[in-house]
Amino acid sequence: MRTFDEYYKDLCAMKPNIWIGNEKVGRDDPRLKGGMRILRETFEKAHNPAFEEVCTATSHITGEKINRFTHIHQSADDLLKKQRMTRILCHRTGGCIQRCMGIDALNAVSVVTYECDQALGTSYHQNFLNYMKMFQKKDLAASCASTDAKGDRSKRPSQQENPDAYLRVVETREDGIIVRGAKQCITNTPYVDEIVAVPCRMMMPEDYEYAVSFAIPADTEGVKLLARPAYFHKPDITPAEALPRTIELGDAETFIVFDDVFVPNDRIFLNGQADKRQTPYAGFLALMFAHYHRHSYCGCKPAITEVLASASALVAEYNGIDHMNHAKEKISHMLGTAELVYAAGESSALHSERSPSGTQIPDEILTNAGRRHAGENIYDEYKTLADLAGGLMAALPFMDTFYNEEVGKLAMKYMQRNPKIPPEDVLKCFKGVENLGCSDFGALTQVAGLHGGGSPQMETIAMAGRYDMEKLKDIARYLFGINPDLDIIERSLNPVTPRKMLDKYKRAMLAQQKK
């Protein structure tokens, strides 16, 4: 397992292919360090005995001890530990841990490549296993390139005026493929080792060239990372001990351009251009990635809600209103949301199914229910924080002002509230709240809380497609005397295996074709 220093050294050795504004920069650019500090938790805690149980695992491929962020889940216990690890680490970063998306994608690839090989005689799963040996041995961090540019949302990939609106294979060679396109809204890409590309939607037979999945180093020739770092205003003169911990953290959202990029055969996990029969597996992979990633959200979103609840409780105390019923009620509601989302993730893990590939798959309904509940409540949580903090969280001078020789003492004097609490602590609290709610980083977290892993509408679609509505209506038919008999209706007693999911997906494709 790598140390953080080894990770950072490896990043700095990569070729510069990152654009921030009109500058082309390397991984040592200071604007990227906030995101790296978040990933630092994933490396350091794997070496800390106090976190070893949740942050490490045993590889099912090599039998070696590995970082859990490189692990393919083999049991319900693996899923539970992954969820718990995510919650614990997100407490320490104040938001998204940023390393889950890569391994969520690889768990999905594990399931889908096996199914594709069994049905079509391809060798993608062996590619995957060989890749994972390397990935685990080097303790790599990955970004999942999922969301395409999409162009006209009313048209399918093959119907677009711009054929590159979705990532596609433009050439299949004897030794690999050439891909072209772009992926948007991708977290962490400027400071990870690898990019794992997966489709983002259902593909029809005519969309075969878009049915592609692969993994490549993030500095591969032709890959251009157009980055938007988010970080907090960094004071120039403030004493280091006066800074809130949150100021050290950050993020980089990325617009990944694949400008005729070569992918060797051994790194390909799906290529519909080579065989159009692979097209159904593209949508299946998109679905499976979303499923794993939403389960991860059932760990991180409770933590983010708890961070917001913690900040709300502290600022209420500093404002002298923590004893008031409205403050208690609002914070209690936040905590209830956190626990319900986490409980959905736990239950999803406990009701998980082992796929034929050996990879454990969380329960679909419970995962989507948890993620949807989190997304539907995220802005209410920020509203509570703003309500209890007041407008000062968006109106404070920069931190430097409070340490200025001429006006610093005056500024600090008027931060005083409760005489038992030093004004320096009040300032730290409000600057931390400002970072959570008003900074680039805070605004990004709010949008990610709604859309990351899929918006509530996407979870609704997934859940509606999973339930057997006719059986559901049988309950009312029985209660209303329309039907005297009622079969046992308990969803968890009839689990949907990966192949049943795939069969259902193929039926949906046929229905789309008929339309």
pLDDT tens profile 481-514: 998 888 776 654 345 555 666 676 666 666 665 5
Q: Which of 23, 35, 11 is nearest to 253 (CA)?
A: 35
421 is in which domain, residue-wise? 291-462
Residues 109 and 247 in one domain: yes
What is the sign, positive or negative, of the torsion defined by CA atoms of 66, 72, 75, 77? positive
pLDDT attached to residue 470: 82
Give the burial string for 156-170 (b: 16+ CB within 10 Å, else e).
Answer: bbbebeebbbbbbbb
CA distance 219 to 415: 47
Q: Are residues 321 and 394 in the same domain?
A: yes
Distance of CA 18 to CAs 27, 163, 167, 440, Å?
Answer: 8, 25, 19, 19
Q: How many domains does the chain have?
A: 2
- How much is the pTM? 0.93
Q: Is the pLDDT of residue 448 over 70?
A: yes
Helix, strand, coil: what percent of the chain each, to 5? 55, 15, 30
Tokens (6 digits) for 205: 């037979």
For residue 228, pLDDT beyond 90? yes
Domain assignment present for residue 469? The answer is no
- The reply to whether 515 falls in a domain is no
Across the range 181-187, mean pLDDT stands at: 96
CATH of the domain at 157: 2.40.110.10
Whether 248 and 298 map to the same domain: the answer is: no
Residue with tokens 């794997």: 46
Residue type at 433 in one-letter notation: V
> Tens of pLDDT along 59-73?
999 999 999 999 999
CATH code, domain carrying 439: 1.20.140.10
Region for 176 from its dihedrals, namely left if φ exceeds 0, alpha if ψ lies in -120 to 50, beta otherwise: left
Residues 251 and 299 in one domain: no
Distance (Å, whole) CA 77 – CA 64? 18
Q: What is the pLDDT of residue 501?
A: 65
Given 286, 308, 341, which residue is the final one in a domain?
A: 286
- pLDDT at 125 (0 to 100): 98
Task: Examine the domain organization and report whether 96 and 239 are in the same domain.
Answer: yes
Q: Are strands 56-58 and 18-20 parallel, antiparallel or unpaired?
A: unpaired
In this structure, the dihedral spanned by the alpha carbons of residues 373, 378, 383 and 384, taken in order and rounded to 10 degrees, is 60
Same domain, 70 and 196: yes
pLDDT digits (tens, 9 = 90+) for 343-396: 999 999 999 999 999 999 999 889 999 999 999 999 999 999 999 999 999 999
Q: Tell me, yes or no, whether 508 lies in a domain.
A: no
Q: Could you say which of 462, 480, 509 is where a domain stops? A: 462
Pair (258, 309) in one structural domain: no
pLDDT at 238 over 60: yes
In a domain, 74, yes or no: yes
Q: Is the pLDDT of residue 126 over 50?
A: yes
Compute, in degrees rounded to 10, the torsion defined by CA atoms 479, 485, 490, 493.
180
CB 462 within 8 A of CB 455: no
Domain end, chosen from 286, 313, 328, is at 286
Q: Is 494 inside a domain boundary?
A: no
Tell me: do 135 and 270 sit in the same domain.
Answer: yes
Beta strands in 391-461 (DSSP E): none
Predicted pLDDT of residue 491: 56
Question: Which segment of 139-148, 219-228, 251-260, 413-422 scores lowest on mean pLDDT?
Answer: 413-422
Mean local confidence (pLDDT), 127-150:
98
Q: How far apart are CA 442 and CA 465, in angstroms?
A: 34
In this prediction, residue 272 carries a pLDDT of: 96
* HSE of 364, CA atoms in CB hemisphere, 13 A: 22
Shared domain for 81 and 113, answered yes or no, is: yes
- For residues 233-250, give the mean pLDDT: 82
* pLDDT greater than 70 at residue 188: yes
- Kindly state whether residues 257 and 342 are assigned to the same domain: no
Q: Which residues of 433-460 are buried (b: 16+ CB within 10 A; e: fewer)?
A: bbbbbbbbbbebbbebbebbbbebebbe
Q: Is 296 within a domain?
A: yes
Burial 256-285 (b: 16+ CB within 10 A, else e): bbbeebbbebebbbbbbbbbeebbbbbbbb
Residues 284-324 have pLDDT tens digits of: 999 999 999 999 999 999 999 999 999 999 999 999 999 99
Asked whether residue 73 is assigned to any structural domain, the reply reads yes
Question: Same structural domain for residues 245 and 309?
Answer: no
Q: Do 126 and 235 belong to one domain? A: yes
pLDDT of residue 433: 94
pLDDT of residue 510: 62
Q: What pLDDT does residue 240 have?
A: 81
Whether 31 is in a domain gets the answer yes
